[in-house]
Amino acid sequence: MIKTSLEEPVCKNGYVLDRFPRTIEQVTFLDEYVRSKGTHLDRIMVFEISLEEILRRAVVRRKDEDRIDDRANESLADRLARYQRQTIPAINYFEVQGIVSHIDWTLTIPQVSKNILRLPNSGSESTLWIDEKASWLVGIPRRAP
């Protein structure tokens, strides 16, 4: 599904991946895919937030949005454990490449947007759309030089 989406004409000059890759298997797929297309990942943004804030936001979503995935604390605990087990190794893979930027996700959406737009972008022009429900891991690919 990801490969099909990345083949769309709209992705020709770059794209933003939200919530992908989250596992080492997905990292391997994406890394092989972008290399086969003569591109590379330019930036990985890790949106950081404390456990206390995650729990606070889950309670608000549970009340205001009636989200099924936030109804039980066990479900949230499982998701956080999966993040530690699967996503942290994926982030570490990109850390070694020096392309990870850590973003404080406790700030307001305008503050987060401003911090992201301040990141070095290797001379590329880009438009960045921020969704307040965005996830922690986003990759922005660029054509290889």
User: What is the reported pLDDT for 17?
Assistant: 79
N-to-C CA span, the chain: 27
Is 119 within 8 Å of 101 (Cβ atoms)?
Answer: yes
User: What is the reported pLDDT for 67?
Assistant: 67
Is 109 within 8 Å of 132 (Cβ atoms)?
Answer: yes
User: What is the reported pLDDT for 129?
Assistant: 40
Averaged over successive runs of 10 residues, the pLDDT of the chain (145 residues) comes to 81 77 89 86 84 80 71 70 85 88 86 82 44 40 39
> Which spans in 7-100 are helix H?
24-36, 51-64, 73-82, 88-97
pTM exceeding 0.75: no
Q: Position of tokens 């404080």?
A: 104
User: What is the reported pLDDT for 24?
Assistant: 92
User: What is the reported pLDDT for 69?
Assistant: 62
